[in-house]
Structure 1
Amino acid sequence: PPTGPTGDGKITTPTGLAATKVTGNAVVLSWNKSTDSSQNGDVAAYKVYSNGQIVATSMGTTVAVSSLLPKTAYTFAVQAYDRAGHASATLSAPVTATTAAAPAAKQFASAYFDQWGIYENAYYPKQIGTSGAAAKLDVVTYAFENIHPGTHTCFEAIKASDAANESDPNAGDGAGDAYADYQADVAAGDSVDGTADVYEQPLKGNFNQLRALKAKYPNLRLTVSLGGWTYSKFFSDAAATDASRKAYVSSCIDMFMKGNVPANVQGDPSGGTASAAGLFDGIDIDWEYPGSAGGHTGNHYAAADKANFTLLLKEFRTELDAYGSSVGKHFLLTAALPSGQDKIAYLETDRIGAYLDYADVMTYDMHGSWDATGPTNHQDPLHDSPADPTGPIAPGTAKYNVDTAVAAYTTGLPAYGIPGGFPAAKLVLGVPFYWRGWTGVPAGGDYGLYQPATGPTAAKALSQEAGLAAWKELNATAATTHWDPVTESAWIYDGTNFWTGDNPQAVQARAAYAKSKGLAGMFAFSLENDDASGTLLNAMTGSLG
């Protein structure tokens, strides 16, 4: 039977432990609530043990133990504890469950959930379930966690970034949002299971709600994304040496995989040893971009990044596998990779696939209102167009488009020194659920396409950034929406404003393309930008089948 620490008995031992649902990679456990006689309030949480290891922690009486191996027997037991350290004298009576066979291979679908979505958008993990997304997606990626500017390790803090200021070289230094991660008191109406967070519980906020979501949808896996546009400044430093890579990787696994998120960040009691154990099923590396000056102003980069990125992935794979073997799990390692051939050239495309379960290619943001005066263009043209007025990307003759990016990874682009060699079956095609826009655009010969502009569109209420809008914010009427059959791309033009992004037709075209190229599937950035009906997500998952 499972073993674990003994307690002082001031909390009753959980009873009635049962496996209520079993899938190919998860077991949902439930048990009866323990009581606390220690005068320290209610039971704070429960730790789930298997093979002497903590495999999950729950704030309530149900949890999904995920990342399990298929067709494997696991024995679990539960112990209750409170914030003062009191615990049930023993673990519960054990329960054994055998996971099902691995599901049949199919097209893969994932999407990002923004850490900050709970603010202006009031988009909580609950809505991943109520929108139908949780039942249709394979993975939800939680974005983003930062790299400490001094120690170059994973950390938590409560400090706002200067993300909207692209000219600030220190925009993300020391920034983080532990409050959104695991301190925010989520009200009952915004929670997944109708239960409000209690201030003293070890885990609140997004992390606790995502844990509750997995208990309802055990086939859904969660990964945590490290970096992103604003938080990639110190990747080069973290990856620079064997010692720095080991320090960085071990800190991230300790914090986000073993769940040892720090307690008492700015005085909040949440956090502590194993408080987030079992929440995440893997780690996503979003370094924007190794070896390239094309990232955020002030990012550190070096020629050595090309090899060091590969070595960083290798270290993550090694340490994730080592920890996984100790708890009977397989953890995902993924990466968000650039789509521009000038940035792909700084990657060892023929080597990195060996360490990744899959890679998300960020096939969007190829054009936008950072080119303030235009010409207007498609954010993510699927194919090249002879009408595209932009110049080719040096040193070759290709322009930015999805097809060129996929070719770079799989078959290579010799003109750019890109060898290819990344397995198509591990490549996931990205689609944006947000749109980019210009204003002051004349109609020209084709409803504003490839025309000059006077600047970015005015900021929308949800995005709060000029030249950017969520799909759900746009008035995409039949009269204002247009289609380019050459690039298989949509745009919106109202006589002054030009918006570029993916509507359902464009998403379906990209799904058909992904299938035709033998790619793993598709991912979206990000869920909060879709409408309440899940129009874009349904187009993606429905097209993938």
Structure 2
Amino acid sequence: MSSSPSPLPGPTPHRRLLALLGALLLPVALLTGLGATPAHAAGGLTASFSSQDNGSWWKGTYVIRNTTSSPVTGWTLEFDLPAGVSISGHYNGEATVSGRHVTVRNAYYNATVPANSTTEPYSYWFVANGPIGAPGGCTVNGDKCDGTPDRPPSAPGTPTATSVTAHSVSLAWSAATGGDYPVASYDVLSGGTVVATATTTSATVGGLTPATAYGFTVRARDTRGNPGPQSAAVTVTTTDPASDPTPPTAPTALRSTGRTSTSVSLAWNASSDNVGVAAYDVYRDGALVQTLPATTLSATVAGLTPATAYTFTVKARDAADNASPASAALTVTTDDQAGNGKYLKVGYFAQWGIYGRQYFVKNLDTSGSAAKLDVVNYAFENIDPVNLTCLAGVTKGTTSNPQDPDQGTGAGDADADYARPFAAAQSVDGVADDGYAKLQGNFNQIKKLKAKYPNLKVVVSLGGWTYSKFFTDAAATDASRKKFVSSCVDVWIKGNLPAYNGAGGPGTGAGVFDGIDLDWEWPGSPDGHAGNHYSTADKANLTLLLAEFRKQLDALGGPHRLLTAFTPADPAKIQQGWDLSTIFSSLDFANVQGYDFHGAGSDNSWEPNRTGHQANLYTDAQDPYPTHFSVDAAVRTYLDAGVNPRKLTVGFPFYGRGWQSVTDGGAHGEWQAAKGAAPGQFPEEAGVRGYSNMLSGVPGLTVYHDEQSVSTYGYTGADGQWWTFDDTWSIGRKTAYLKSKGLLGAMIWEMSGDTAGGTLMNALAGGLG
């Protein structure tokens, strides 16, 4: 409701009659334009259709005409195919087909239509099979193809009051008809002001004054926003509370009749009242979430997060707005993201893997991994250092110095994201990019992968080690949080990608991502990347930031969007930045760091002088380091804080960390002295190799398994290289542990490290069953 309705003047019957007559005359005035926006006027472009029968197929052509004296650049044509018609080819335009609806965007060479001219000889045409006929619902740049104004819907039927209380009126009406486009919504007006909107033929107007007369009318809006004329008016007087001081009895037998990962269905037994129950109010954790008519004894509360406990109560209200006592409370825990008895498998895809690694989205398919994964995290996207918004539309590399405090400032790769054309051999479906499409690069390949695996979800990961510098600034205030989240939703979920090298534009990235993953490393901690901003306020602000993400993602409507986070294994970092008692009300699940417990670092800035396991399941009694990290210790930190285990996945490394000049020490180099990072897979990444590259690129590596800590390591002996990693043995032991703890599943950093046949992914999927 946008504002409170205006009560009719009163109190004498004569004045009420005059007001009613005035209200009844209001639609007549509206027919002359009062309070309504004109229908869309004809734009500068029109489109005409012609067909040509070619025997086994027929050709349909749309000629775009510019009727103005100035060139028009950029056009989008939309139309609906006749029943039984299918299209097998498109020319002179980029077309997408959804059912019978076709959307065509100009090609690069016919984007500009000259003044008083047409797209000929390069007009869009298609090859069709089926009955020859003109498509319907044609628009060009949103306006009707014939250039005539839109015809709005008719007036709805006169509304009637279906329920009246001291502070609300429920109305119903018959549907509007006619118009060029379907009815999308209805406005309820009082005194010329919209006081409620509805997508059905009923609505409830609240916030009214008791014992007061109000006049209401209704108008329809079509899918293009065109308003029709208002209905005849109805006058309704709200109830006088003094007429009934007795509240209803409390509803009884509140129960759950079903649940999903994001909703809970409820039912209850009716209340009684001396006059009559008017409505039921449903409360979730003490907040009102739904109001239902007295005839409805059930509700489904949606917009919830998985594996989360919610407490519900219901109250009855009578027409005088007397509220009953609350029902007995009912606590229900939503289902988890994976489903009962199933385990989630999450894998990171590195944006930059298409370069030196030569690992493409296609490899997720050819390795067999895409068929086994549930969620792909696309890593990483950055924060604009000036505007504190989600950064997109730039290609700027990071500096070569990992200790440079500005290493990632302003960096990004729009080329890899959506502008780089891939050859057929690099494409999921074997079809090469033509170099002119508005969506190319990894994003286009992701859409192709999702088309092949409809149940696969893909989320965009924000931050990471190098791009977390400005999280603290973006999260600092309510205004900055709203601005940041809104920009991220706009770019990555709505797909409004900035124009870049001919690619991008409004809506071009829609459908690529199914949610957002927050990789803030690390809130409230000085132990992040060199130069990262941090504050003692980060912990509270992170909770508020996640809540804002959840709010704005849910406000989009439609399918539930995932909100996840990469969270630390280190109890100190958890304490500094992650309020485990609050963040999971917003998060669908968290991916707990299960690796990088030890390592030399590419510039030997970490632990260059001693080896150590990077992903051990349990603490090793021989561990000489002051802090004893392990997967089990990390998991226990979360579970001891009361986190639902079905909110947690554990990270698995598909890569190894290595040292050189390592002494044997009678332990095959385990926990022994070293002299810096071993040569890496790439010159700029000393001490790191993908699992597959490590096996082939480190000659003489003998693999050992530590039963005590459940960790895998390799030692080259005389060459003195020592590597810590996961293999099929450790993955088998760790997945058994994960299942024994009732956790949600596993996360992988990152997919390019696996073998071409998916050796580690197969082990992980097999272990989880």
TM-score range, shorter chain: 0.7 to 0.9
3-state SS in 2 of match to 1:150: coil
**Residue type matched to 1:466 in 2?**
A
Q: Which deviates the most, 513-522 or 367-376? A: 367-376
Matches within 5 A, 1:113-512: 113-162=349-398, 164-263=400-499, 265=500, 268-323=501-556, 325=557, 328-346=558-576, 347-370=578-601, 371-392=606-627, 399-411=628-640, 420-461=641-682, 464-475=684-695, 480-495=702-717, 496-512=720-736
Are 2:137 and 1:90 aligned? yes
Cα separation, 1, equivalents of 2:594 and 2:339: 27
Q: Secondary structure, in 3 states, of the residue corresponding to 1:271?
A: strand
> Aligned partners of 2:138 and 2:553: how far apart in 1?
27
Identify if the C-alpha distance between structure 1 residues 354 and 205 changes in structure 2 by more than 3 Å, giving closer, same or farther: same
Amino acid at match of 2:711: S
Cα 1:235–1:180 change in 2 (3 A) is same
Q: Could you tell me whether the CA contact under 8 Å between 2:647 and 2:744 is conserved in 1? A: yes
Counterpart-to-counterpart distance in 2, 1:337 and 1:115: 21
Which letter does structure 2 place at the counterpart of 1:469? R
Deviation string 1:356-380 (CA, Å, 9 cap, x unpaired) is: 1111011111100134443211001
Q: Deviation of residue 45 (structure 1)?
A: 4.0
What does residue 741 of structure 2 align with?
Answer: 517
How big is each residue's C-alpha offset from its partner over 1:428-487, in whole Å with a ceiling of 9 and x where there is no partner?
0000111100000011111000100011101324x7411111101123799700011111
Contact 1:147 1:235 in 2 (8 A): yes
Alpha-carbon distance in 2 for matches of 1:241, 1:519: 34
CA contact under 8 A between 1:442 and 1:452: conserved in structure 2? Answer: yes
Bigger relative contact order, structure 1 or 2 (CA pairs below 8 A, ≥6 apart) = 1
- Report deviation, 1:231: 0.2
Do the aligned residues in 2 keep the contact of 1:372 with 1:453 (CA within 8 Å)? no
- Could you tell me how far apart the structure 2 residues matched to 1:344 and 1:216 are? 38
Alignment partners' CA distance in 1, 2:539 and 2:695: 43
CA drift at 1:198? 1.6
Structure having the larger proportion of residues in strand:
2
SS of match in other structure, 2:766: helix
Q: Rate the CA distance shift 1:108–1:77 in 2: closer, same or farther, 3 A.
A: same
Q: What is the deviation of 1:85? A: 8.3
Taking the aligned partners of 2:633 and 2:100, their CA distance within structure 1 comes to: 49
Q: Deviations over 1:204-257 (max 9, x none)?
A: 000000100111110111000000000000000000000000000000000010
Please give the per-residue CA displacement for 1:60-116, whole angstroms capped at 9, x wherever unaligned.
xxxxxxxxxxxxxxx98442222538999736999xxxxxx9985311111000000
Moved more, 345-354 or 474-483: 474-483
Pairing of 1:100-111 with structure 2 (within 5 A): 104-105=339-340, 106-111=342-347
Whether the aligned pair in 2 keeps the contact of 1:43 and 1:81 (CA below 8 Å) is yes
Letter in 1 for 2:632: D
Equivalence map 1:19-98=2 (5 Å): 32-33=87-88, 35-36=90-91, 42-46=92-96, 77-83=101-107, 84=111, 90=137
Compare 192-201 and 228-237 and name the one that shifted more: 192-201
Q: What percentage of aligned pairs have identical amino acids?
A: 44
Q: Which amino acid aligns with 1:361?
A: V
- Partner secondary structure for residue 695 of structure 2: coil
Q: Which runs of 5+ in 2 are unaligned?
A: 1-39, 48-61, 64-76, 114-123, 125-134, 140-180, 183-259, 262-337
Q: Relative to 1, partners in 2 of residues 1:91 and 1:344: Cα closer, same or farther, differing over 3 Å? A: farther
How far off is 1:385 after superposition?
Answer: 1.8
Which amino acid letter does the alignment assign opposite residue 408 of structure 1? Answer: T
- Residues 16 and 479 (structure 1 numbering): CA distance in 2 closer, same or farther, change over 3 Å? farther
Amino acid at match of 1:405: A
Contact 1:169 1:297 in 2 (8 A): yes
Aligned partner of residue 531 in structure 1, secondary structure? coil
Q: Distance in 2 between matches of 1:343 and 1:511?
A: 25
Residue 51 of structure 1: aligned partner: none
Structure of greater Rg: 2
C-alpha distance in structure 1 between counterparts of 2:422 and 2:402, whole Å: 32
Aligned in 2, Cα 1:344/1:156: closer, same or farther, shift over 3 Å? same
Please report how far the alpha carbon of residue 156 of structure 1 lies from its aligned counterpart in structure 2 after TM superposition: 1.5
Pair 1:484–1:315, CA change in 2 (3 A): same
**AA matched with 1:357:** D
Contact 1:508 1:540 in 2 (8 A): yes
What is the deviation of 1:159? 3.6
Assess, with a 3 A threshold, how the Cα gap between structure 1 residues 503 and 81 changes in structure 2: closer, same or farther: same
TM-score (norm 1): 0.82
CA contact (8 A) 2:82 2:100 kept: no
SS at match of 1:80: strand
Report the Cα distance in structure 2 between the residues aligned to 1:340 and 1:130, rounded to whole angstroms.
Answer: 36
Stretches of structure 1 that go unaligned for 5 or more consecutive residues are: 19-29, 37-41, 49-74, 95-100, 393-398, 412-419
Partner SS for 1:134: coil
| Partner Cα separation in structure 1 for residue 46 and residue 609 of structure 2 | 67
**SS at 1:491 equivalent:** strand
Write the distance in 1 (CA, Å) between the matches of 2:477 and 2:667. Answer: 52
Higher helix share: 1
Assess if the C-alpha contact under 8 Å between 1:334 and 1:360 holds in 2.
yes
Change in Cα spacing, 1:245 to 1:533, as seen in structure 2 (3 Å) is: same
